[in-house]
Chain A
Amino acid sequence: MINKDIRSYSSMFPKEYTELRVQENRSNGVALLNGDVVSNGKSAASGVSARIFKDGHWGFASNPNISDDAVESVIRSSTDNVRFLNIRDTSRCGMMLPETFINFEMDFTSQKQKNSQKHWIDFLKALDNYIVNKHPKITSRTVVIRSLDMEKSLITATGSTSYSMTPRAHLMISLSADREGQPIELMEAHGGLGQLEDNFDNPETYFSHIDEQVEHLLNKVDGVYAEAGEKEVILDAELAGILAHEAIGHTTEADLVMGGSVAGDYMGQQVASSLVSLIDFANKVNDVTCPVPVYVDDEGTKSEDVTIIENGVLKNFMHNKDSARYFESTPTGNARAFSFSDEPLIRMRNTAIMPGESKLEEMIASIEDGYYLMKPGNGQADSTSEFMFAVNLGYEIKNGKLGKALMDTTISGVAFDMLKTVDMVSDDMTWVSSGMCGKKQPMPVGMGGPAIRCKVNIGGR
């Protein structure tokens, strides 16, 4: 546990705008490979950082010790750093940041009794034994449980203070089966916001999920390669979520807009079908807490929802204080740092396409020759909004009915073109949050959405 109240350190602040953050990240993980414990470890990294803004430059410094001396040291060092830049580059002299003020505490620490590491190893063993006994066609299995707690205290020169403890915990099951001597794999992730004790109780809860995963995997073993080219597809919720995050979300982070993202040319324009609305939620949707809730960002700004696309029209970018200054806009509370030694960057929180009115079944039935794409692998996007996502589970759709499973494939397109082809949006919504977004630093994010019908390029043979 770190100190929740660090207000006393504000007396050490220089006259320039200053942020002071104390943070600890704690993680725990166990991995079983074919029943053997291959990983069993914990880590903790904590420290204090200061960041100072003056005349268009930032000075930053961090120290792993959390003490009065360390605080004094990081403030002095970050002051020296900003002065180093101010002396050499006077072109930005006089720039001022918008001021924000908020005091907030949010603690998601589990109220349940903490389980021992043996409990979690036994939990994984129960899952592994179930797979071995129930599914003899599985040739390799990896079962992993892991958690990350991010605990932060912040004070800024404009009087903002915040404390947060935001945990996440996930279970990952990766299974392989044989196809003519070659391995075919399918991975499934479970969990989200919460500590291990909140998210995982009885291993039997996951037996039916394993059965379903094995069924899809064995379908994949008998699967076919997708036919390369542009196809009509249903992107299921997980793929719509990664599309929202990678292909649109990143292009509308204001720092990437300043860096040349094509979204900078499209503000106020129709960039998607009128069925598409896309929001980066700060912490709640319809009073339900999102997988990565952010209430105050690491610059001391209240985190607000950002409506990026409304009924197909590009409406807003996500901002930190510096980009809000540049665009003469308002900070949106998107500035987040991964570890105590990282500076805050503009990061998404929980980015989702909003549900529509169609039923998934009628969407599948509406396609004569296409694909139902269900599970994403990794994904990347571009300043042009051109995206690529791996697809690890999908099925053919022939005459409105699901056909054979697909071998692993990739889809691509230009998001601001592809979203104009969306003509059906399902009325449900699913969140995923097991991955890390990468942008200089890793960062937990939530991605969500309904299923959408659209046209994309698909790789194949």
Chain B
Amino acid sequence: MNPQDVVEYVISTLKKHGAEKVQCTVMDSEKKELNIDAGEMSLFRTTFNSSVGFTIYKDNCKGSISINKMDKDSIDAAIEDVIELANSSEPDEAYDIAEKQPPKSFSTGQTTADMDSMYDRLSEFSDYTKSTYPKVILEQAIIDFTYRKGIFANSNGVKFGLEKGMYNFSPMFTSKDGLNTSSFNYTGFSAKELNKSLKDYGSIDRLLKESQEQVITQQVPGKFKGQIIVTPDCLDDFVSTVMDFVTDIPLISGRSVYKDKLNESIADSRFTMHSNPRSDELESNYFITGDGYESQDCTLIKNGVLKTFLLGIYGANKTGLSRSVNDGGAHIVDSGDVAFHDLVKSMKQGVILSRFSGGNPSDNGDFSGVAKNSYYVENGEVKFPISETMVSGNICDMMNNIVDISKERIDYGDCIYPWVQFDGLTIS
């Protein structure tokens, strides 16, 4: 069966079997991937896959199933299974599906991989790294082109078509100089086309250079309360944690520290962050929410004020709050007006935090972890790369203790972040 037939068959058959609400996603995908391992071109991988996922609500009971086959026998077996799942479950009136919206098709990127360009770009990157940064070992570097085409539909008449083709690159690297070894580091980007050298995307070239410097490290001089400048590579760890606190499960369970903070200040007034999955600013977009709404751009935190929770239909119905207009992510943090080197100059004692190897923050926002690929700063000067250095604090307090935000930002294709300087962290 083709995706269109699968969607129509699944919805009509399940409705005949008594499901009041059905949503179904059918997707075909093809991935072309080249791998460098331990500095050598090693693998060319091609994968084809299909996915058929549907969720039903029958007598307000939920069942979900996912398979990767589109033949009628497999679909019929999955339909039988999902009915059993729903019949086994407990009713909850908060379950629902998206209401009818005008049918629409979304398309972005290319439909086929340019394999010669992928190979040439990766090979050029490998040669550049070896010649420019001889201490760097490319532990693994993966470039892929992933193409997906499919349909989302539900029994309320929602029908969206989706076609997306994106290149993704993710290098992971370590530096060695004799017996001295750096921490590994990694980064990446997403793009519609490979129209420049891989080293010139995102923060790749800077991180390779820094990796070479990090083969010799020192510990910070004892425990102190200080500042950190969180780099764009590391900022996602922190801001995503903040937004995780305002998703369905923490809010339904009442565990979220921000449960009473909608339209209230949760961060310094200079901090503004958008979730823009449809923005032309980002190469990688998403068009449909998991619940089946056309996604829209929104501002998550405006001048420090939390402007929206990230609730789906179930979370919104369960809490009595509004559904969010997208599923989050696609973050764009507004730039500040201070140059990065002036952030460093202003710092009396602290750390430039480039990667954070930390435990998942507690529900109350407490966190601690190790500063990786990071630098010690004293009296406005970068002193040395650090190791065995722990950073501890509370993320809610931290968001209110922003010292400054850089005017420079890094574009990763699916998010854009500046450097952000925070105060009041314990560094040991």
Binding site for B on A (CB under 8 A): 33-34, 36-47, 49, 56-65, 77-78, 81-82, 84-85, 88-89, 91-92, 116-118, 121, 125, 139-140, 142, 176, 179, 182-185, 228-229, 255-256, 258-262, 265, 322, 341, 343, 377-378, 380, 382-384, 386, 388-391, 407-410, 412-414, 440, 457, 459-461
Contact = CB atoms under 8 A, between A and B. Distances in A.
Contacts of A118: 87-88
Contacts of A77: 46
B392 A121 contact: no
B67 A410 contact: no
A142 B253 CA distance: 9
Given A41-B65, A121-B88, 10 more contacts: A41-B63, A45-B67, A116-B84, A117-B84, A182-B257, A228-B426, A383-B183, A383-B184, A410-B390, A412-B370
B33 to A, nearest CB: 9
B314 A38 contact: yes
Contact of B364 (A59, A64, A84, A183): A183
A258 B90 contact: no
Interface in B36-95: 37-38, 40-50, 55, 61-69, 81-82, 84-90, 92, 94
Contacts of B65: 41-43
Contact of A341 (B49, B85, B172): B49
Contacts of A81: 44-46
A40 B89 contact: yes
A60 B34 CA distance: 10
Contact of A116 (B41, B43, B88): B88
A152 B77 CA distance: 21
A63 B46 CA distance: 9
Contact of B67 (A43, A49, A57): A43
A34 to B, nearest CB: 6
26 contacts: A33-B253, A37-B61, A40-B63, A42-B81, A43-B65, A60-B46, A62-B47, A77-B46, A81-B46, A84-B119, A85-B41, A88-B119, A89-B41, A89-B123, A117-B84, A140-B255, A183-B363, A183-B364, A185-B362, A259-B184, A260-B174, A322-B42, A382-B372, A383-B184, A384-B183, A386-B388
Contacts of B92: 36-37
B17 interface: no
Contact of A408 (B40, B61, B362): B362
Contact of B360 (A38, A142, A229, A390): A390
B147 to A, nearest CB: 15
Question: 9 closest A-B pairs (Cβ-Cβ)?
Answer: A390-B359, A459-B368, A259-B139, A41-B64, A260-B174, A118-B88, A258-B38, A81-B44, A117-B88
A375 to B, nearest CB: 12
A36 B139 contact: no
Contact of B44 (A85, A380, A407): A85
A78 to B, nearest CB: 8
Nearest to A225: B366
Given A184-B363, A228-B426, A176 B255 contact: yes
Given A39-B64, A260-B137, A414 B428 contact: no
B43 A259 contact: no
A123 B254 CA distance: 24
A56 to B, nearest CB: 7
A389 B189 CA distance: 28
A40 B363 contact: no
B364 A184 contact: yes
Nearest to A66: B69
B428 A229 contact: yes
Contacts of A185: 255, 362-363
Nearest to B392: A459
Contacts of B363: 176, 182-185
B45 A61 contact: yes
A191 B43 CA distance: 37
B387 interface: yes
Nearest to A35: B90
B357 interface: yes
B115 A84 contact: yes
A443 to B, nearest CB: 16
Interface in B355-408: 357-360, 362-364, 366, 368-370, 372, 387-388, 390, 392
Contact of B68 (A41, A64, A176): A64
B182 A440 contact: no
A121 B89 CA distance: 7
B130 to A, nearest CB: 12
B181 interface: yes
Contacts of B372: 382, 386
A308 to B, nearest CB: 18
Given A117-B88, A229-B428, A382-B184, A60 B360 contact: no
A37 B182 CA distance: 47
A40 B368 contact: no
Contacts of A389: 359
A45 B119 CA distance: 30
A408 B50 CA distance: 41
B314 A64 contact: no
B87 to A, nearest CB: 8
B284 interface: no
Nearest to B183: A382
B38 A259 contact: yes
B366 A408 contact: yes
B354 to A, nearest CB: 13
Contacts of A383: 139, 174, 181-184
Taking each of A82, A142, A380, A414, which has the highest tally of chain B beta carbons within 10 Å of its own beta carbon? Answer: A380
B190 interface: no
A204 to B, nearest CB: 21
B140 interface: yes
B176 interface: yes
Nearest to A380: B357
A303 B326 CA distance: 47
A64 to B, nearest CB: 5
Contacts of B254: 139-140, 183
A431 B140 CA distance: 31
Given A140-B253, A341-B47, A383-B181, A255 B390 contact: no
Contacts of B88: 40, 116-118, 121
B48 A62 contact: yes
A146 B66 CA distance: 15
A176 B43 contact: no
Contacts of B388: 386, 412-414, 457
B175 interface: yes
